[in-house]
């Protein structure tokens, strides 16, 4: 049995999320079915993190155990061939030790949220970004974002369906920057609560629009109450950017 580490890119729009779901298609299901078609084995995919319906990935890490003798290149090519036309691509494939685990060996996760700040409708980026038509004050958003970094109780920014045992998380980085009409919000932590990134982005956008004062983000955090949340951003603009492992 060989353990292969996969780096995945996918468009989350057609899927109910990365993890298998009883009520619709998932990225995991598509890859496991492709692996079965290639190897005849009922292999399970394990990923560094979960994604909600409509959330995308630039560099999701995952692993799969295969008994059939295959080189990493042949497995990658075969999976990509079987995955077409689903919007999933295996960008890299490597052999790893049997004690390496995509989820449990991971020591950090990074997400990026893309906002297109313009009035004109989205064409090429429809479904790939959140369009905000009114001008955003990015400097105010960046200042407000810094009140969320560090160790906090993120109950306000946590979905009521979150399965994490504790709302305590350490947010290592939250940065907001503009590149033309695009506003990028980057978040890094060891792990995140369900909807945490989208909830933080929604509140920062309220600050950028002038509908919230900067200090209201800190007040929402301190409330430790989901009712204090101002806005939950849509999934369209959220991307799992990368997983971080010891030695990276």
pLDDT in tens, 186-216: 999 999 999 999 999 999 999 999 999 999 9
- The per-residue pLDDT for 179 is 96
Query: Are the CB atoms for 131 and 118 separated by under 8 Å?
Result: yes
Helix (H) / strand (E) containing 78: helix 72-83
**Parallel, antiparallel or unpaired: strands 2-10 and 88-96:** antiparallel
- The per-residue pLDDT for 99 is 96
| DSSP conformational letter for 93 | E
Helix axis angle, 138-145 relative to 196-208, nearest 10°? 140
Tell me what percent of the chain is helix, strand and coil, each rounded to the nearest 5.
Answer: 25, 30, 40
Domains of the chain: 2-96 (3.30.70.580), 108-244 (3.30.70.660)
- The per-residue pLDDT for 66 is 97
Low-confidence ranges of the chain (pLDDT < 50): none
Identify the three-state secondary structure at position 28. helix
Length of the chain in terms of residues written: 248
Which residues are designated catalytic? 52
- The per-residue pLDDT for 160 is 84
Q: Give the C-alpha separation, 248 to 240, whole Å.
A: 17
- The per-residue pLDDT for 183 is 98
The backbone torsions φ and ψ at residue 113, rounded to the nearest 5 degrees and listed phi first, read: -115, 130
For the entire predicted model, the pTM comes to 0.95
- The per-residue pLDDT for 63 is 98
């Amino acid at each position: 049995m060989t353990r292969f580490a996969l780096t995945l890119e996918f468009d989350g729009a057609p899927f109910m999320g990365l993890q298998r779901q009883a009520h619709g298609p998932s990225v995991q299901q598509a890859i496991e079915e492709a692996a079965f078609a290639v190897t005849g084995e009922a292999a399970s995919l394990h990923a560094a993190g979960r994604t909600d319906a409509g959330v995308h990935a630039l560099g999701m890490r995952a692993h799969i155990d295969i008994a059939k003798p295959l080189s990493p290149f042949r497995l990658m090519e075969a999976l990509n061939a079987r995955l077409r036309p689903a919007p999933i691509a295996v960008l890299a494939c490597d052999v790893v030790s049997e004690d390496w685990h995509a989820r449990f060996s991971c020591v950090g996760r990074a997400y990026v949220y893309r906002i297109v700040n313009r009035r004109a409708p989205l064409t090429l980026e429809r479904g790939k970004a959140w369009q905000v038509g009114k001008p955003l004050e990015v400097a105010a958003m960046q200042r407000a974002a810094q009140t969320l970094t560090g160790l906090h109780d993120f109950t306000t920014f946590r979905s009521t369906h979150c399965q994490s045992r504790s709302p305590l998380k350490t947010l290592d980085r939250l940065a907001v920057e503009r590149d033309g009409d695009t506003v990028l919000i980057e978040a890094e932590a060891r792990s995140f609560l369900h909807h945490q990134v989208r909830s933080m982005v929604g509140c920062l956008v309220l600050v950028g629009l002038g509908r919230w004062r900067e200090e209201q983000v800190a007040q929402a955090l301190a409330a430790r109450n989901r009712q204090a949340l101002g806005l939950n951003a849509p999934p369209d603009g959220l991307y799992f950017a990368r997983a971080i492992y010891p030695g990276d």
